Structure 1
Amino acid sequence: MKKLLLTLPALLLCACAGTSTQGAHDQLVEGTLENTPPDLLEYCKTTACRENTQFKLKMEDGSSYEYRGAIDPPIVQPDLITLYPGEDVFIEATIEGDRLVDMVVVPEVKSPEKTITMKFWQEPSMADGTDMLLQVDNPFEKFLRYELGMMTFDAEELQYTSSCPVIPGGSGFEHWPYPIFLMAFANLRLVEINDEEVTCE
């Protein structure tokens, strides 16, 4: 599964390729319909893709990075979930064996027993204000595990990062002390774990 996260199609990562406007320090990247890859435009004809994505991050040198996208890949793709900074989403999922399938984004929680909440953001009150936090709420009766990847600003491809299982009926938190452009989740599954066996991997 690490290999899956490291070899995702360019469709997922196309948001990085916008028109860049850079002043002395700050950077603005704009993805317009004109510079959106044709493959993504075609994909979005039959899929509910993101529209008008916007977020702004403080960088480690004190400058800012702002992204504005007209069309971006959907939050849920087959076997994959992605989050941009500032996104707070509800995802309904069906249990098939120990795997979570048929995942779909919903505007509100109507079926709490099968709705995962995911939130990803930059926390200005921590350290120098560049730290990123991830919260995942698990509604199920078993531990929720997933493979986690991230796209940072010093890499050109998705990087695998460790993650901890989320306790049944509870919340899990992850923290990184630097800006992150995108998080990606794969292989979401439910597992039986004794408290003394909980490991982050």
Structure 2
Amino acid sequence: MLKRIIICTFLIFSIFMNAQNEKPDRAPFTLTVAVDTVNYYQQEVPKSPYFVKEKVLQIYPSEKLFIEAEVKADSIYSMKVVKENLNPEKTITLEFIQNVEGKSHAGMMLTVKNPFEKRLTYEALMYINGGSKWISTSIIPIRPKLMNFEMWNDIILSLVLVEWKLE
């Protein structure tokens, strides 16, 4: 009887802790992106979901995210942003930054860490400074257990990452 109580207590506690770790929305913030030594782009980003649709992630420069993925039958079934990387074996780490040299734009970089035993692929759309539409950009697949660095010369205000797959 005591063993059942301990097991039930542990299960309830672990469910509660996992729910506490979820982070479905970003806090509002001011996005500031360098353009040149004098000009910069600035935008108020309101509180908004990271996943704008199922498995459709929007990320802004300066954000670092932990994406916990549920895998079923060798494919990504669901994804959610979490506050802490409590399950590194199933958590994709992303960081999107702007490189600046002397107050001037020097490039954008997206870092993605693949925790899985299979190759991770996804597609990306970018919205650039001065643009009027989302533009598709090429992405290199990430080999198992490795990290990938995507770099662009464009001044990217946001990326949308879609079509997440394990191959």
Q: TM class by shorter-chain length? A: 0.7 to 0.9
Q: Which runs of no fewer than 5 residues in structure 1 stay unpaired?
A: 1-46, 192-201
Is the counterpart of residue 189 in structure 1 residue 156 in structure 2?
A: no
Q: 1:105 aligned to 77, 81, 86, which one?
A: 81
Q: How many residues align?
A: 144
Give matches, 1:71-90, under 5 Å: 71-72=47-48, 74-76=49-51, 77-90=53-66
Q: 2:141 aligned to 165, 177, 181, which one?
A: 165
- Structure number with greater Rg is 2
TM-score under structure 2 length normalisation? 0.78
Is the counterpart of residue 140 in structure 1 residue 102 in structure 2?
A: no
Paired amino acid for 2:89: E
Q: 1:49 aligned to 22, 25, 38, which one?
A: 25
Give the percent of matched residue pairs that are identical in Structure 1 and Structure 2. Answer: 31
**Distance between the aligned counterparts of 1:66 and 1:138, measured in 2?**
31
Q: 1:115 aligned to 58, 74, 91, which one?
A: 91
Dislocated runs of 4+, deviation >6 Å:
none
CA separation of 1:49 and 1:107: change in aligned 2, threshold 3 A: closer
Tell me the SS of whatever aligns to 1:141: coil
More strand by share: 2
User: Residue 10 of structure 2 aligns with which residue?
Assistant: none
CA contact (8 A) 1:130 1:178 kept: no
Tell me the SS of whatever aligns to 2:85: coil
Alignment deviations for residues 76-121 of structure 1 (CA, whole Å, 9 cap, x no partner): 2312011001000001001133431221111111111100000001
Paired amino acid for 2:50: I
**Distance between the aligned counterparts of 1:71 and 1:110, measured in 2?**
24
Alignment deviations for residues 7-32 of structure 1 (CA, whole Å, 9 cap, x no partner): xxxxxxxxxxxxxxxxxxxxxxxxxx
**Distance between the aligned counterparts of 2:154 and 2:27, measured in 1?**
26
Tell me the SS of whatever aligns to 1:113: helix
**Distance between the aligned counterparts of 2:131 and 2:31, measured in 1?**
19
Q: Which runs of no fewer than 5 residues in structure 2 stay unpaired?
A: 1-22
Q: 1:64 aligned to 30, 40, 64, which one?
A: 40
CA separation of 1:190 and 1:153: change in aligned 2, threshold 3 A: same
Q: 1:174 aligned to 143, 150, 164, which one?
A: 150
